[in-house]
Every structure is written in C-alpha cells, then in structure tokens.
Amino acid sequence: MNLRPLSADPTELRHAFACFPSGVVAVCGCIEDEPAGMAVSSFTSVSLDPALVSVCVQKTSSTWPFLRDLPRLGISIFAEDQATACRALAGRGDRFRDVGWKRTVEGAIFIDGAAAVFDCSVYQEIDAGDHVIVLLKIEALRADRARLPLVFHHSEMGRLANSHGRTAQGLPLLLVSEGGAALFPPVCS
C-alpha cells in the first residue's frame, strides 16, 4: 500500500474524509425569540450514562458563538426528504425562511419532520485544531424509526434505499444520491 504524506493543501484530506458517509443534523436554538441554527455533518453518539452526543464546530463559525450559551439546543437528525432544509441551514441569510420548526419552552428548536430530535444542554467544549468538539447532554428526545436519515457522502446528500426489495430489517442498504446514482458501498481511492 502506497501512502502519500499529508500535504499543506487540505483538499486531499477533505476528499479522504468524504469517503466516510455521515448523517446531517441541525443544531438550533432561540435567540431573542428568533430561530438560529446551522447544519452539521460531524454528529456522533458518545455516551449512554450520562447521555451525551457530540458535534464538531469550526472555530470560524459565526453562529456557534450565539448558540453556545443558550440553556437548551435542539438537535434534529434530518430525514431523507429534508435536503432542501439542510441546505438552507448550511447557507447564509435567513436560514429558516422556508424551514418548518417548533420551539420548546426552554428555547430548543427542532426542524419539522426530522427522523429524531434531542433536547440538549452544552456539557463541555474541547479545543481540537480548527474546530471545537461540543459535548451535549441529552435532556429529552423523540425518534421516528420509520423515517430514514439524510446521508452526506462525497459532498453530496443522499438517502438509504433497500436493495432487491428487502425490508429495512433485512439489509443491506444502498446509499442513493438525490440524482439516483448508487453511492454505496463507497469505493475510495
């Protein structure tokens, strides 16, 4: 196996990271009665006791400084049909203009139709290079196992689809891009 040394140009590293499919979540809260949030593809379950999840946020984020001190944040796992909402929350300007959402009394905001939602509080922040790893303590949750997640792979959004008419319980699953091309199993070169 011939490995190449890591170069100063981050492009090759980004391409390598893109070989790993991930889900995409919205991290949202209410600031002065207005929704604020962002899309994040680096979401991970961390611990059952205490119940923790993590997201990684770029230090250059203009949104995170406003969200970090809120008493509650809503984490919404985008469902397969929510690519438009995901793009809106990843963009600039009024991210919530065409995105349906609900607010809790504590100020967590959830995206309508999400596959799962977590009502969280910030547990800890860890400095990590050009990002901050944010550990979030889960205070409450709801999951709709009938909703499949939106998947991010090779800088494209896709969905899980059953192959050969198998049920979700029968696996295997394919990753299909919005354009219909099969993306999974991933082949990284």
Task: Give the residue with greater pLDDT, 168 vs 143.
Answer: 143
Binned at pLDDT 50, 70 and 90, residue 10 comes out as: confident
Taking only the tens place, the pLDDT of each residue in 123-144 is: 999 999 999 999 999 999 999 9
Q: What is the pLDDT of residue 176?
A: 54
Res 167 pLDDT > 80: no
Tell me what the mean pLDDT of segment 6-28 comes to: 84
Q: What is the pLDDT of residue 65?
A: 95
Contact 49, 136 (CB under 8 A): no
Q: Where are the domains of the chain?
A: 22-156
Q: Return the percentage of the chain with pLDDT > 90, whole number.
A: 58
Q: What is the pLDDT of residue 16?
A: 83
Structure tokens at 86: 């995901």
Q: Which residues, 6+ apart, have CB-to-CB distance to 64 below 8 Å?
A: 38, 57, 58, 132, 134
Taking only the tens place, the pLDDT of each residue in 64-83 is: 999 999 999 999 999 999 99
Identify the CATH assignment for 22-156 out of 3.40.50.10900, 2.30.110.10, 3.40.640.10, 3.90.75.20: 2.30.110.10
